[in-house]
Structures are given as structure tokens and as C-alpha cells.
Amino acid sequence: MSLTAVIVVLVTDDSRDEALQLMQEKVSSIPSEGPDRQKFERLVMMLGALEQNGPRKSMRTNPGNGGGSITEKAQQQRAASLTPRARQLLGAWESREGLLSKRGERMKSWKTRLFMLKGPLLTYHKPLKIAGALSKELGTIDLSVESTIARLAVEEEVQKLKLRTPCFCLCTPFRIYYMQANTEQDREAWMNAINMNISMARASYQ
């Protein structure tokens, strides 16, 4: 029985997640280009495009890349609605770079940092580039660690810690990082991107 036939049976039985897991086991044998790859991507889109519980998360393009081509934007919009497992199969991790102000829970002052989100890691760097590349990271936050989440700062935190707004929190089991964005839209984009990568990181360990 072919992989496609198995998938049809599974989807008919409302077992989409099992179908995606089966595809994850087969993905290494699928070429990166060609008709088989196109069929594979269409099946993943079909199985994973149903919304999960909660609001749909928007996918943003990287700052400074000109927004990408029309085709790239269409692919990003389609990938934005996929479940974490489907996004993992398509390699649809969020990648984002930008300038944010940061302070740890034990810090008294804000520090301006360049942040880079790539896969399950969020790194921060001095706010300068050498030959167009980020300087060596000053620190790394592993998003795959259990209980890690990006959320809005509550009013009590803003008042007690005199936080600059708009800001959000990146909570880890070891420390809380407060991030200040330039706009509410940029804050939302960072939170969505970080939380999507957290979901992707956890799905990869299932």
C-alpha cells in the first residue's frame, strides 16, 4: 500500500496527527525537488492547514529583506496556518532578526541588543555588525526548555519594574527577560514568532 493510500485512510478516520507522524518518518526518503516533493508538500498542506485551537498566528518576513517575492509571501501565508508538526515537516521555522532593548529580571537598566531567532534558539548580540554579520552572541536562550513562553507583561510588572512599553516577557524556568519593541505591531510579531518556534521545538521532541 502506498504512502498516499495510507494517508487517505487515516484522514478519513480523523487521525491527521498520525498521518503527519507517518510522513515525518518517511520524509528523509523524499527528494528535495521534483514531483514527489511537490506531492509531499501538497499533502502536508492539506493535512496541516486546519487551525489549531486559539487564534491563527501571523507569519512575518524578516526585517530588511524587502518582503520577499509574491510566491514567497504566498508560501508564508499558507505555512502560517499549519500545525507545529506540519510546519516541522516543511522546515517552516520562524527566522527573525531585529533590534530590541532587553533587561533580565535582576538587571536594573535596559541594554540595547540585536536579537536573532533561528530554530529553537534566540541569541542576543551587541548592537553592531562586523562585515554585515552579527557579532558573537552575548547569550543564548534555548526555547525548547519546558515552561518557556513569550507573553505580555502584566500591569503589576510594568509598574513595579518601571518597564518601558510596548514590551513583552520571555519567561524561562531560570530567568525572565523583558523585551522592549518599537511598536505594538513589532512586539506582536516577535511574540508570535518566538511562541511558534517554542511549539516547533516541543513538537520535534515528541
Nine cell digits for residue 82:
499549519
Taking only the tens place, the pLDDT of each residue in 60-84 is 333 333 445 555 555 555 555 667 6
Amino acid (one-letter) located at 206: Q
pLDDT surpasses 60 at 93: yes
Q: Is 113 helix (H, G, I), strand (E, B) or coil?
A: strand
Q: Output the pTM of the full model.
A: 0.65
Whole-number pLDDT of residue 205:
66
Residue 110 confidence class, pLDDT cut points 50, 70, 90: confident
pLDDT surpasses 70 at 178: yes
Taking only the tens place, the pLDDT of each residue in 22-43 is 666 666 666 666 777 666 666 6
Give long-range contacts, CB 8 A cutoff, 24+ apart: 152-160.
152/191, 153/178
Catalogue the E-assigned strands of the chain: 95-104, 111-118, 121-125, 129-130, 133-134, 139-142, 149-152, 167-171, 176-180
List, in order of start, the domains of the chain with CATH numbers: 3-89 (no CATH), 95-204 (2.30.29.30)
CA distance 76 to 64: 16
Share of the chain above pLDDT 70, in %: 57
pLDDT surpasses 70 at 153: yes
Give me the half-sphere count of Cα atoms (radius 13 Å) on the Cβ side of residue 101: 14
pLDDT surpasses 50 at 5: no
Least confident of 20-34, 42-56, 118-132, 133-147: 42-56
Taking only the tens place, the pLDDT of each residue in 113-128 is 999 999 999 999 998 8
Is 150 in contact with 195 (CB distance < 8 Å)? yes
Share of the chain above pLDDT 90, in %: 34
Whole-number pLDDT of residue 31:
66
- Reference 143, options 181, 102, 94; nearest CA is 94
CA distance 68 to 66: 6
SS3 per residue for 152-204: ECCHHHHHHHCCCCCEEEEECCCCEEEEECCCHHHHHHHHHHHHHHHHHHHHH
CA distance 122 to 177: 12
Whole-number pLDDT of residue 185:
94
- Reference 123, options 108, 112, 131, 113; nearest CA is 113
Q: Is 28 helix (H, G, I), strand (E, B) or coil?
A: helix
Amino acid (one-letter) located at 119: G
Whole-number pLDDT of residue 200:
85
Mean pLDDT, the chain, rounded, equals 74
Residue 106 confidence class, pLDDT cut points 50, 70, 90: confident
